[in-house]
Amino acid sequence: MADFSDFKATFFQECKELLENMEAGLMAMDGGEDVSSHIDAIFRAVHSVKGGAGAFGFNKLVEFAHVFETVLDQVRQGALDPGADVLQILLQAGDVLNDLVTMAESNAAVPDGYGQEVRAKLHELELRGQGGGDGDAPMEEFDDLDFMPVAATDLPDAGGEEPAPEAFDGIEFQPVPADATGLPSATGYRVSFAPRPELFRRSNEPLLLFRELRRLGTLTVACDVSALPDLNVLLADGAYLRWTLDLVSDCPIDQVREVFEFVEDDCDLKVEPLAADPGPMPAPPAPPVEARPIPATAPAPAARAVAAAAPVAEPVPAAAPSPAAESAKVPPKDSGEAQRKDEAAGGITIRVDLDRVDRVVDMVGELVIMQAMLRQAMGDLPRDGKYGALSRGLEQLFQISRELQESVMAIRAQPVRSVFQRMPRLVRELSNQTGKKARLVMQGEATEVDKTVTERLADPLTHMIRNALDHGIETPEERIAAGKPEEGVVHISAEHKGGRIIIQLTDDGRGINRERVRQKAIEKGLIAADAVLTDEETDALIFAPGFSTASTISNISGRGVGMDVVKRNVQDLGGRVTIRSTPGKGSTISLTLPLTLAVMDGMIVSSGAETFIVPISNIVECLRPKNGNVQQAGDGGDVLLLRGEVVPIQRLSQVFEIANARDTLADCVIVVVEVEGGSKLGIVVDELLGQQQVVVKSIEENYGTIPGIGAATIMGNGQVALILDVDAVGSAGRPANGRHIH
């Protein structure tokens, strides 16, 4: 049996992208953007999911997608107005479709009746789009595809008898001149299309395919009904009709083929250039023999001639791209044409399994370590004579290695758009639940960051937005009373800054009620009743585990886990979170994250016999203290007077109980770093040993959690060096477990 696991994996990857694009399009429509600019892409996304699911036999997924697709097509054709109620149902349908894809991917059985409520709503919308009828499509639905009556010809008998007249009730046959010539002189394609029963069993609809063709130019359709049996033996899922379609267009032939991309295996299809004078339409190829036999007593099918049909409505300009072509994921058969399309779209792209990329990243990491070893070995060699060429060659190798590392990191990078585009739906639903009015403004969605980082951003951003909508944004009445617009604004942005990515979420709500935060913190025993806190320290209490100012527990907040999750997840990524708030005006939460979790630039420092790495992105400056600019603070600690600014300092030897470190500050170096909240900290070390790229290794996975340590790396001499978590160094004083680090 053939193994389709690789193809399925690709299909589910594409489904994820398609469903994300679908929801982004629906939310854009909900935001008041032009429907026509999004509905085609939404329709194509659902159609593509359905087509791929049909190929793998995910029947329940196909059936639901077909109903969903039908309603979307009605919106696309203008038969159904996408108001707020319609969009709500479409969003719910998108959720069900997403769930069905997830179940298919995990090979989970779909529960009986799953999605039936939403499916019923879709059917109601379908009837509304049809004018509230009984479900039969009105004739005007076919106005854009003009099927002309065919000529009645001599009908072969069945056992010497003509078929009973009632067998053709409702079908009108009129003669067509024998010299009908079809289309005028033109360029285009003649398509012979003969569906097989499987096409209909997978919920595909020829009419939708014809509409896609019609978007490419002027389309003329002729239907061959010669295989249509008597009604008393007609099979509901049989395939009896055959079509010949003449398309006048100068589009590439690949665009025509792509219309039939998902049904190609379930039909007999032939696409060939249209002659300058095509003449009468020929009958399509003889239909294949049905898999299920017709009873012997059935009368023979009536043979009917195929007549030419008149062209349909006004042609669409041939330059307009095919929606099917835009959504196609399978490369066109003409590789040259495919390349031209991709280059026009901004470059050729390929799919690579993430494990393979991670393997390359690991190898680059090993290369960086080897580079450090070579650099250290070179330190003892003279730079002239016979070693000069070696030294220059190795320096060039180091430069190439760095460029290789940056290129590999760029492969893993992806825009934060994939995370941001989930948030408009969240804001919409929370606004409905809370009775508040709010809109989301996004900026910097194209900012790129390591894929591992983006994957772990979703939870923090979700909790931040829930906090902003529930605690920050006021009700419309409260906002009007405060002189604000009744609609609140939540702004989310991303940017690169100083080798890190900064993500900020700002709301224009009521801000933090510091007195309430303080009282709650005292009640929970987080602070003493007589504690004196700055505004920043009070605001930071909202990140404490189990802390919440909500008076009641709801499905939005009240359990005190949201902002704690934000801080914990961000710190796990090697980042930090800060908050600024102005009562009555709003709050801003900032996440500062590393661009990548694999390789970083670090400053190598020593304290006693120990070596540490300080992330370059945290360092503000390095200096040797002078007499008078280091003084003792009231709490017994030391502070650095730096150009009028008071900076607390922390001896690394005291934090980690390192023996034989230098005691005299004048003999030491102070590394001034930026820590949580944007404040500064001076870390006292013995010496600066140089700057170097280092490979980040998880200390938690390989050893355990150590306060003040973020990760580890391997140095050029093969020894392990610890990478400092400067935020934890500033607040730890000394490790909670008191252990030495060697």
Identify whether 427 is part of a domain. yes
At residue 468, does pLDDT exceed 50?
Answer: yes
Q: Give the position of tokens 């190598």.
A: 604
Q: Kindly compute the dihedral angle of the four CA atoms of residues 537, 542, 547, 549, in this order, to the nearest 10 degrees.
A: 110
DSSP type of residue 570: H
Identify whether 150 is part of a domain. no
Mean pLDDT value of segment 639-648? 87
Same structural domain, 446 and 388: no
- Give the model's pLDDT for residue 280: 60
Identify whether 244 is part of a domain. yes
Q: Which residues are within 8 A (CB) of 108 and not within 5 positions of it... i.e. 6 or more apart?
A: 102
Q: How confident is the model at residue 688 (pLDDT cuts 50, 70, 90)?
A: very high
Same structural domain, 58 and 181: no
Dist. CA 487–CA 476, nearest whole Å: 7
Same structural domain, 565 and 438: yes
Same structural domain, 460 and 584: yes
Same structural domain, 446 and 550: yes
Residue 561 backbone dihedrals phi, psi, to 5 degrees: -110, -15
Average pLDDT, the chain: 76
List pLDDT tens digits, range 68-120.
988 988 888 888 888 888 888 999 999 999 899 999 988 888 888 898 999 99
Cβ-in-10-Å burial (0-12, 13-18, 19+) of 134 comes to exposed
Cβ-in-10-Å burial (0-12, 13-18, 19+) of 264 comes to middle
Strands 610-615 and 720-724: parallel
Tell me how far CA of residue 529 lies from CA of 347, 533, 635, in angstroms: 62, 11, 20
Longest dimension (CA), the chain: 121
- Paired strand residues for 589: 505, 579
At residue 194, does pLDDT exceed 90?
Answer: yes
Q: Which helix (H) or strand (E) holds 518?
A: helix 514-523
Identify whether 228 is part of a domain. yes
Identify whether 410 is part of a domain. yes
List pLDDT tens digits, range 142-177.
444 444 444 433 333 434 344 433 433 333 333 333
Count of domains in the chain? 5
Q: Which of 367, 393, 414 is the last residue of a domain?
A: 414
Q: Which of 594, 621, 645 is the last residue of a domain?
A: 594
Identify whether 163 is part of a domain. no
Dist. CA 430–CA 436, nearest whole Å: 8
Assign residue 15 the CATH number of its domain: 1.20.120.160
Domain that holds residue 218: 176-291+298-330
Same structural domain, 434 and 572: yes
Dist. CA 113–CA 246, nearest whole Å: 43
Identify whether 448 is part of a domain. yes
Dist. CA 575–CA 559, nearest whole Å: 25
- Give the model's pLDDT for residue 323: 35
Assign residue 457 the CATH number of its domain: 3.30.565.10
Same structural domain, 496 and 527: yes
Same structural domain, 555 and 680: no
Same structural domain, 550 and 697: no
Mean pLDDT value of segment 339-347? 43
Instruction: Identify residue 517 by its one-letter amino acid code.
Output: V
Q: Which helix (H) or strand (E) holds 62?
A: helix 59-76
Identify whether 168 is part of a domain. no
- Paired strand residues for 2: none
Which one is predicted more confidently, 700 or 563? 563
pTM of the model: 0.56
Q: How confident is the model at residue 3 (pLDDT cuts 50, 70, 90)?
A: low
List pLDDT tens digits, range 30-39.
776 777 778 8
Tokens of 594: 């590393």
Same structural domain, 407 and 432: no
Same structural domain, 467 and 575: yes
Same structural domain, 60 and 92: yes
Dist. CA 63–CA 178, nearest whole Å: 43
Mean pLDDT value of segment 397-406? 82
Of 678, 649, 726, give the one whose Cα is nearest residue 540: 678
Percent of the chain residues topping a pLDDT of 90? 13
